[in-house]
Amino acid sequence: MFLKCDLIEVISRMTIAGLWDQRIAAFLLSPSQFLATTTSESFLAELLHELRNDKANDQLKILLVSVLLEHPTILCPSTSVGEETALELLSVFSHMPQKSISLKCNVMLAITNVIICTSCLATHTKMAEDWLDLLYQTIQDTNDYRCGLSQQPIRATACDCLREMETCSPGLLSQKLEALCLLKQQETTVLHQSYCMLYTLGLKNAIRILTNQKDVTDLEFKTILAGNEGFAWKSNPLGLTFLPVNMMVQVPRLPPGLDCKELKSIMSSLLEESYLLTPISQSALLRELVEVVAMVPGLSPTLFKSQLLRLFGTAEVELMHATLFMKDTFTDSLFTAEDENFLLKRLVSTAQHPLLGIPEKLFYMDCILHFPENRPISSSGEESLPVLVTPRLAASLLPTVFNDSATMLCRLNLLCLVHLEADEGEDDKGINYLFNHIMALLKIVDSDGSREVVVTSFRAVYIFLMHFSGMEELSDKLIDKLCDMYSRHSRLAQHLIGLADRIQERLDDHVWSVKLLRGLQKRIMEMPPLQLTIHNLSWHLKVLKRVAKEGHITQRNTIYLLLNVLINSNLCERGNWQVGNAVLAVCRNLLEHPSIDKVFIELADLLQYISVHYEDTDIQDHARFYYTLLTNLSWEKLTGVLAKGPDGGRAKERSHSAIMAENEGIASNLTVHKAERHVLRLVKVQEKTSQRFSDSSESLEVTGETKKWLEVYQEQFQMPGFGSEVTLRYNLTHADETDSLFDRVFTVCLHFELKDSNYAKVSDIHVPCVFRDRKPPEVKVRLKPFQPYPTTLSVSAIFTTQDGCSWHSRLPDVSVSFPEIFLPLPLPLNTSCACKEEVFDRIWEAAASGSPDKSAISLFCFKTGDESLADLIKTHFQGYLITDELSERSWKVLFFLPPMCHVLLMITQAEDAVQVSIATDNWELLPFVNSYLQNITDHCCTTVTDG
């Protein structure tokens, strides 16, 4: 009976563990999708409850803890939740049995992770402080004196947790350096490395904090090194900061003159012990010490001199990386020219060592390419070859066909740079070797090489062209070889298209890509009919589709080939959708070709033939649609309809089937829709402008010149069409209430209709776009009056919305009032005031003595004060005054109304009223003049007397 119960309990535990395995796996795969069916609070509560379950085994609990290691902020979104979770984990940790070493280590890491990620450490919570104290107490058990050897992993994990907290809060251990140094010296087990790394990190961060202070004294410096106090919880601005990889950037430094004997002794001790560490730890230690030396002027880089011999001969990638970092930091302060030359030769020899793996070889090749020179020529950060890497030095790195793909491509890139910058005279042996290597690779491809060989070969061609595409002879040979290969292996189509695209992306000059595509088009045209099988034709159509995108390649031969294949084969009868769609893909690109007008008839014939004879309804419908677009739209509109979206897809997706049935999708695509409300409106922003009668810059004075000008003016006055345009300025903006569909409209065409025959036809105005969230564009409406009367313009607009549809909308009518037609008299520039008065007097005399059928004199009177009269004149007549300064009792105003009318006002201040004498050469204007004067003086008593 007891055995049966135990078996049931074991099965139950296995079932629970299996369920947790599935739940944890689902959460780690997609936390957001997992939490869609529950909440983070409930899931976290379940995790913590299961961690407290004594019946759950350690492996299950480690799996549960892994969730908090991977996604702590998802389950603990706030500092308070993080603190509570850390307290729960600490409770679980304290009740664990001594033998659960692995579980304890994972829980320690989880607590540290939660405290850091939920800002408990940054905000100095009580939990963070207690946890930090517990970790520090744990590492004080040096050499496992109290807890025994079995608890050694706990101490190692505690050191790692302290390092992580010091990294995330630099300076946290800055007041415990002496204590940490003592612990490091006492530790004689394998954990000496962990203590050493913890102390070095604390030392570097403490010095880094000192560099932010001004006037650091020897006492402050020694106090830092001899610190044995509490944790430095005071926040500091360092954050996660390291010295820059490019050491030419200014490094923070302590002031010179500090006593660095003790620090120098510490550094020497650490370097002497460094060989005891693993390569990874040695590399990290050296980097920390390099940063310390870079920040302390009193320390010389020669401290590392004793380590160079060991580092130069290392086979460890980590140590070589640290050496190069050291060289980039100190350059010739530590490394002599001989050292530099030796190190570079060492890298070259190591990069081809037969016992090294491919990743290590690639690393050393990259080190050669980015070798930190003592005296670099370029500091722009661009990829450039070190001066010491000569063709002689790099000769052993020449690529061969026996290299693996990655090594060969890396060597090829390096050697291309070597021979590109080398001065090899007329033979160019190195470049010829590289070119022959490329040709050898292509020969292997031509012999039915594997896919890996094909991909590697085309990548090699790309690398070669990136450096030597300007060498026309070699480039043309490559094109001939690639086209010959395609003639025999049409399966290379995608690789050739990809090569042309990548070359075109990287090179400003597209000549090579165009030559290759033109060569491929020619080879396809020359192929015998027997080679145009279904399988091969699909590849050829992909190439022709890409060729059709090039505006510099004529497409007539492509269309002829497609038409001949369709007519002289059974493709149409078979109705293969894939082949038909591939043909239409070529046609689609042809529709966007800039020289479509030269092949318009041929392309129309091809599309019409497909729409009639191809035995697939979808292909027929698409062909009809393309034919409709071709025959009804301009090239500009056509390219807009077929434009690609920003993600590479169609700008507007629709179903184009059954075009002849006038389905809704096609109607929507080709119809101009009518907006029910006003979408746009014109808002006046500024007074009208006009051109002057003369562009002469000479002054017109009161002499015979005035008379001469009047004679010329009268001659011009009699000519038909004389007079300036009236230009009115408006802002084209959205109406107050419009659908969000119209927030962005494009290619706006404004059309104006006149409601009378007093003006010439107003031309349409085109505006590129109107966006609601941008400044409205300015529109200039030019009016040419036949009679200078007020008028109203009816305005409508045709525009396109962002979804590709065209719309028609009416705008509110635009009223042109009588004052908006006024223009200054078109006098020459710089005309004197006296001359203006003489012109005014002569035109007045002409109007007073002219024919009664045309000219007229009138009188308008109103009452106002002197001050308000001056303001009225300044407000309404400033631009039309004949004299620059306002006189005390009399003013002269002259309006020119195109095309050939004048209105003259002589304003006089009488004792009881203001008299406005009016003269005009067109008596029909008097009612408008009277209304205008009455509007601007409507606050006064007005009397009108006709003369």
DSSP per-residue codes, 559-624:
HHHHHHHHHSSSHHHHT-HHHHHHHHHHHHHHHT-TTGGGGHHHHHHHHHHHHHH-S-HHHHHHHH
Residue predicted with more confidence, 648 or 221: 221
Residue 848 has pLDDT above 90, yes or no: no
Residue 315 has pLDDT above 90, yes or no: no
- Specify which of 75-89, 685-699, 894-908 reaches the highest per-range mean pLDDT: 75-89
Residue 234 has pLDDT above 80, yes or no: no
Supply the pLDDT for residue 704: 54
Residue 855 contacts by C-beta under 8 Å, 6 or more apart in sequence? 846, 847, 848, 849, 919, 920, 921, 922, 923
Distance CA 409, CA 464 (A): 10
| Helices and strands (H, E) in the chain, number of each type | 36, 13
Residue 247 has pLDDT above 60, yes or no: no
Mean pLDDT over 334-362 rounds to 91
Mean pLDDT over 835-858 rounds to 77
Looking at residue 303, the DSSP 8-state letter turns out to be: G
Supply the pLDDT for residue 91: 92
> Taking Cα atoms as reference points, which of 402, 406, 347, 401 lies closest to residue 372?
347
pLDDT in tens, 349-399: 999 988 889 999 999 999 998 898 887 766 555 566 888 888 888 889 999
The SS3 of residue 275 is helix
Q: How many Cβ atoms sit within 10 Å of the Cβ of residue 184?
A: 22
Distance CA 552, CA 515 (A): 10
3-state secondary structure 534-568: HHHHHHHHHHHHHHCCCCCCCCHHHHHHHHHHHHC
Residue 676 has pLDDT above 70, yes or no: yes
Mean pLDDT over 624-638 rounds to 83
Strand order of the sheet with strand 806-816? 672-674, 806-816, 791-801, 744-754, 765-771
At residue 245, φ and ψ (nearest 5 deg) are: -65, -40
Q: How far is CA 754 from CA 682, 730, 759, 761, in A?
A: 16, 17, 8, 7
Distance CA 891, CA 885 (A): 9
Distance CA 274, CA 799 (A): 74
At 842, list the tokens.
Answer: 């002569």
Helix, strand, coil % in the chain, rounded to nearest 5: 55, 10, 30
* pTM for the predicted model, two decimal places: 0.62
Reported as a pLDDT band with limits 50, 70 and 90, residue 514 is very high
> Taking Cα atoms as reference points, which of 820, 823, 752 lies closest to residue 789?
820
Reported as a pLDDT band with limits 50, 70 and 90, residue 425 is low
- Specify which of 249-263, 511-525, 859-873 reaches the highest per-range mean pLDDT: 511-525
Reported as a pLDDT band with limits 50, 70 and 90, residue 516 is very high
Q: Name the CA dihedral angle for 305, 307, 311, 313, rounded to a multiple of 10 degrees.
A: 90
Mean pLDDT over 541-551 rounds to 93
CB 563 within 8 A of CB 604: no
The SS3 of residue 244 is coil
Q: Output the average pLDDT for the chain.
A: 83
Supply the pLDDT for residue 34: 86
Supply the pLDDT for residue 862: 83
Looking at residue 905, the DSSP 8-state letter turns out to be: E
Q: How far is CA 749 from CA 216, 683, 688, in A?
A: 72, 17, 22
Reported as a pLDDT band with limits 50, 70 and 90, residue 653 is very low
Mean pLDDT over 570-595 rounds to 90
Distance CA 433, CA 427 (A): 11
Distance CA 805, CA 671 (A): 8
Reported as a pLDDT band with limits 50, 70 and 90, residue 130 is very high
Helix axes 577-591, 600-613, angle to 10 degrees: 160
Distance CA 855, CA 844 (A): 10
Rounded to 5 degrees, what angle do the CA atoms 298, 304, 307 make? Answer: 165
Long-range pairs for 448-455 at CB < 8 Å and ≥24 separation?
A: 448/489, 452/405, 454/492, 454/495, 455/405, 455/495
pLDDT in tens, 473-493: 999 999 999 999 999 999 999
Lowest mean pLDDT among 361-370, 572-581, 828-837: 828-837
Q: How far is CA 507 from CA 384, 465, 512, 783, in A?
A: 18, 9, 9, 51
CB 730 within 8 A of CB 682: yes
Distance CA 645, CA 636 (A): 16
Residue with tokens 């402008």: 689
At 890, list the tokens.
Answer: 């009399």
Supply the pLDDT for residue 693: 44
Could you check whether the bond before residue 899 is cis, i.e. omega within 30 degrees of 0? yes
CB 62 within 8 A of CB 106: yes
